Amino acid sequence: MPQRSSKRRPAPPIIHPDHFYRMVDGPAFYGYGPTVLAEKIETGEVPKPISLSESGRARGWFGRTILAWQRSREEAAAKQSA
């Protein structure tokens, strides 16, 4: 009998407020795939990533930005359920 593959997602990493997280890490923290994440950034639903240098190649978010966005989503959900 063939084994089923587990579709469980790994636990998201712990977010440190002062750490810089690159764009590739965004889907794990914001919960959207890369394409939808790009759309959410464009519409302002997710904070725009910042560039670490003038060349702009290293782009992402500081952990505090991710945590603030997650907290705002929790508060919005609490208001809807109240």
What is the per-residue pLDDT across 1-34, written as a single tens digit (0 to 9) for each? 556 656 776 776 789 999 999 999 999 999 999 9
pLDDT for res 21: 94
Amino acid at 32: Y
pLDDT at residue number 71: 96
Domain residue spans in the chain? 20-81
CA distance 46 to 33: 13
What one-letter code names the amino acid at 5?
S
Q: What is the maximum span of the chain, computed from C-alpha positions, in angstroms?
A: 56
Supply the DSSP symbol for 46. Answer: S
* Identity of the residue numbered 51: S
pLDDT digits 0-9 by tens, 32-82 = 999 999 999 999 999 999 998 888 788 999 999 999 999 999 999 998 887
Question: Are the beta carbons of 25 and 60 closer than 8 angstroms?
Answer: yes
CA triplet 46, 26, 6: central angle to 5 degrees?
A: 125
pTM of the prediction? 0.80
